[in-house]
Amino acid sequence: MIAIIDYGMGNLHSVSKAVERLGYEAVLTSDPQTILEADGAILPGVGAFGDAMDNLRQTKLDDVVKFYAASGKPLLGICLGMQLLFSESEEHGANDGLNLLPGKVIRFKGDFKVPHMGWNKLSFLQEQSPLFNGLTEGHVYFVHSFHAKPEQSSDLLATTDYNQQVTAIVGRSNVYGMQFHPEKSGELGMQLLGKFLELAKSKQPQ
């Protein structure tokens, strides 16, 4: 069972339907026990970083997500959910994140269109990652005004180019994040989501 964490912000139903299309059971939940018992957990998100962290803290789901990450079972942050995995964000002032991955989320700066919106090609930096096993680089769909800057280069799994190198996929141990929405990113997006779900399935006790 895959827990899709409901903290009041996110495209929960589109993620849920994508998980089900890939043949897995998905549960939308804010119940700590249900989340902690899940084989894999997904933290989606749409909106502002500070508001999202406030919601997580008020419901105490911030601690639940940290406990889940510490359990060793696969955790995936999507879009804003990926950004929340980092230490801090400068969106609407300084805001602390979940600090599961060291780094900062910053606004795009430069003489180009913001938000970054459209189909961009991924570049796999760490092809040995289980997320990329058997996959070919291709295009996924981005919509974001802020981007993550990991402190550790080893946490950066894939990038895209938007007037600069932009973090697209991150990962450390069992914690992963995708800046784009895989469920809205065509065949490659669904393949990447499927690889994460395979990880969750493989972590089940035999």
Q: Which domain holds residue 137?
A: 2-202
Reported as a single tens digit per residue, the pLDDT across 16-65 is 999 999 999 999 999 999 999 999 999 998 899 999 999 999 999 999 99
Q: At 89, which helix (H) or strand (E)?
A: strand 86-89
Mean pLDDT of 3-12: 90
The Cα 34–Cα 30 span in angstroms is 8
Is the predicted pLDDT of residue 103 greater than 70, yes or no? yes
Q: What is the mean pLDDT of the chain?
A: 95
Catalytically active residues, by annotation:
79, 181, 183
**Sorting pLDDT into bands at 50, 70 and 90, what band is 204?**
low
Decide: residue 33, CB within 10 A, 0-12 exposed, 13-18 middle, 19+ buried. exposed
Mean pLDDT of 124-147: 96
The Cα 77–Cα 30 span in angstroms is 15
Residue with tokens 């079972």, as numbered in its chain? 73
At 205 the pLDDT is: 40
CATH code, domain with 22 = 3.40.50.880
Mean pLDDT of 111-131: 95
- Number of residues assigned to the chain: 206
Q: How many domains does the chain have?
A: 1
| Tokens representing residue 164 in the block | 């600069």
Asked if residues 76 and 183 have their Cβ atoms less than 8 Å apart, the reply is: no
Reported as a single tens digit per residue, the pLDDT across 61-71 is 999 999 999 99
At 206 the pLDDT is: 30
pTM: 0.96
**Sorting pLDDT into bands at 50, 70 and 90, what band is 11?**
confident
Residue with tokens 């989340």, as numbered in its chain? 35
Is the predicted pLDDT of residue 147 greater than 50, yes or no? yes
The Cα 86–Cα 205 span in angstroms is 29
State the CB neighbour count (10 A cutoff) for residue 118: 11
